[in-house]
Structure 1
């Protein structure tokens, strides 16, 4: 019966969002109340549970997410992202242009959230396409593959960051293992898949696309942008800080080092929140003050970044509320009982649940959070590496993006594709990332 109630809740969510066009956050809160009532939760506990879920999720995420949004905005507004893309294009040359786009999108994708990265990179891809007279889709598929992989697997993106907090996984480990999974996945879903897509829907590679809806884009003269080295360093700094701390921690556990003030300081600096704050302060200097940009202009960029992610934060909080209802309402325990004694790996189970919810709901982040509510009770029965469960959940939440996902429509419109062509490119691309991502996570689980 609890799973039937969850199914009713998901159907209701679809009706509210797609049928009645209600805001996603409002819909999630309504569904949280309805599901809590159907599960028979005491009336005096329902509001407390919803508040705890919303606050608990945002309490972990808001700092990292907010600082990350500001960091990305500063890099974009200073022209750092354009410098990274254009320099790599020049270095790789026309023959290896796809690899230039992959590397540039991967670096920029770490610093910028998916939608922001897409809006920023598409005009650059269109300009390169016109200059070299190659298909925009030939460059577009590797670009969105890199952006999507970073979005699904690498902190400080909301999905992996939130789920790491919910599962109690070490964020540095998620980042380190995420890189190991992300790199081969991008290669397969980007340049390799492009060749396959060209055979499936050759006509789509003749389309010219349309980015008029993006409005007038801020274009920089390259000589007025920050240097390539400092742009990459600023974008990658949080990753470097978290990775160093994680490697040191793993070595400490392996070699049995004693805790020392130096190790404690490294772990403090490598904490996700501290790393993001340090990186933002560095960006304020490298992308702003060092280039004689007034501090007020720099802070205006930070304010704009927070304004743009306000609703996304609420939606994530709403997903956290729904997750908490599933846990406190006993649905998670019910799922744990069903799979008690099963040989099915929590990694595979998390991927399956996330994939089903992603196909049903459209939102990768909401699918991830709902999966957490069902999977958390199972984790106590297994000694599985929690970072790998985070990555499996992220992989499942990317599968088969279709008409209920905003990314589907953005890709379709920008690249001027038909519905059939969008399914054969974007939807298939997201599914490849999901399946191969799971495959690499399972391979990694044999080692760590």
Structure 2
């Protein structure tokens, strides 16, 4: 069967199964890999070998990173340090919607999961705003803020596979010097969107400066209102300090550097945690990491089987005849995201497909990464597990979640796409 037709059929089956059965993405993606391999004429043994190899590649790339991020998250949560972090932000930013968006944006990167960051912020934001409608806006902004940084800032599980595949030795610091300002600009645009579309549910700047934050800290540090809670920020500070050590002193490669700095952050979190919470935090962190890692491994399996089938050579050539080449990464990522709902899975599969194709020779690495990130944000609907989590925590109906969650993220995706095109044509000028 034509690889492009097989790809569409596979995505359709993954979408249907995801919607109707809500089973673990690992099984739907492994099933998709088997279906795609057999449809394109691969033998059962070759298909299974591709699945095993794909799982191994992804686990080796993400295992340490995600485990460390999950351990950091659970240890901070056990000690109520997330409340301290939000309270520290509140000292400098008084507008609750901005606090919510920035908290999601900041926490998603070192925790390596925007959903985990949202879950941790949920009870805090519940206390930040009493009115239900305004509280829900805070939850939507925390979710969207987390997704924006998760899709654009290195090193997150979304950006890592894209950066590893396309960077060509480019410095991650140089990449973030572009991606962080642009992602914050996108987040500011989302704030404006909510401010003008839902003016009655957004507190004006300077209003609603709520003192409840000063009462939700449970840390043992004295003088809550006097200074920064350094113990809460310690793992993140350790990660930042370890970056120059890894690059300059130890001379580690990019892949080794990412694993090293996350290990430093996790060890710092473990070292600062009292024995009463250390064991439970490690156990819960490992369980949470396992769920995330296996889902991403399923993506690696599907992606490797797709590549092994020769899809990149045949299907991408067909796509480039139908649409301009700069649209190909964007459309491909949007299709994969729509089918299975995970941005990490989208990044892994898309990078596997595009490596070695003419697309990466025609577009500068930074716009290329942005194009894929943009595509991963276009359709965040029923196959997106984050969509249903937001729906449950807000209690809103599906239509409201679409207008407050799906549409703003789509607008963010469009904004990222526009920035990618501007960078490609006006800054890097490869086309």
Question: Do these two structures clear the TM 0.5 threshold for a shared fold by scoring above it?
Answer: yes
Provide closer, same or farther for how the CA distance between residues 343 and 194 of structure 1 changes in structure 2, counting only shifts above 3 A. closer
Residue correspondence of structure 1 range 28-47 to structure 2 within 5 A: 28-47=29-48
Q: Deviations over 1:291-313 (max 9, x none)?
A: xx12x732431231111121221
Residue correspondence of structure 1 range 15-414 to structure 2 within 5 A: 15-93=16-94, 96-112=95-111, 113-130=113-130, 135-167=134-166, 172=172, 173-189=174-190, 191-198=191-198, 220-224=217-221, 227-239=228-240, 241-242=242-243, 262=248, 265=251, 271-285=257-271, 287-288=272-273, 293-294=274-275, 297-338=277-318, 344-346=324-326, 348-379=327-358, 382=361, 384-414=363-393
Provide closer, same or farther for how the CA distance between residues 237 and 192 of structure 1 changes in structure 2, counting only shifts above 3 A. farther
Unaligned stretches of 5+ residues in structure 1: 207-218, 249-261
State how far apart, in whole Å, the 1-side matches of 2:76 and 2:388 are. Answer: 26
With normalisation by structure 2, the TM-score equals 0.83
With normalisation by structure 1, the TM-score equals 0.80
Cα deviation for residue 33 of structure 1 reads 1.3
**SS of the residue 1:135 aligns to:** helix
**SS of the residue 2:355 aligns to:** helix
State how far apart, in whole Å, the 2-side matches of 1:69 and 1:168 are. Answer: 26
Residue correspondence of structure 1 range 2-17 to structure 2 within 5 A: 2-17=3-18
Q: Deviations over 1:330-380 (max 9, x none)?
A: 11111343356999345x421221112222332222333332243223257
Provide closer, same or farther for how the CA distance between residues 338 and 430 of structure 1 changes in structure 2, counting only shifts above 3 A. same
Q: What is the RMSD of the two structures over their aligned residues, measured on CA atoms?
A: 3.2
**SS of the residue 2:75 aligns to:** helix
The aligned length equals 407
Cα deviation for residue 319 of structure 1 reads 0.8
What residue is the counterpart of 2:210 in the other structure? none
Contact between 2:81 and 2:218, CA under 8 Å: does it hold in 1? no
Unaligned stretches of 5+ residues in structure 2: 204-215
Contact between 2:58 and 2:296, CA under 8 Å: does it hold in 1? yes
What residue is the counterpart of 1:210 in the other structure? none
Cα deviation for residue 427 of structure 1 reads 0.8
Cα deviation for residue 197 of structure 1 reads 3.3
Contact between 2:105 and 2:147, CA under 8 Å: does it hold in 1? no
**SS of the residue 1:297 aligns to:** helix
Cα deviation for residue 184 of structure 1 reads 0.7
Cα deviation for residue 158 of structure 1 reads 2.1
State how far apart, in whole Å, the 2-side matches of 1:387 and 1:156 are. Answer: 14
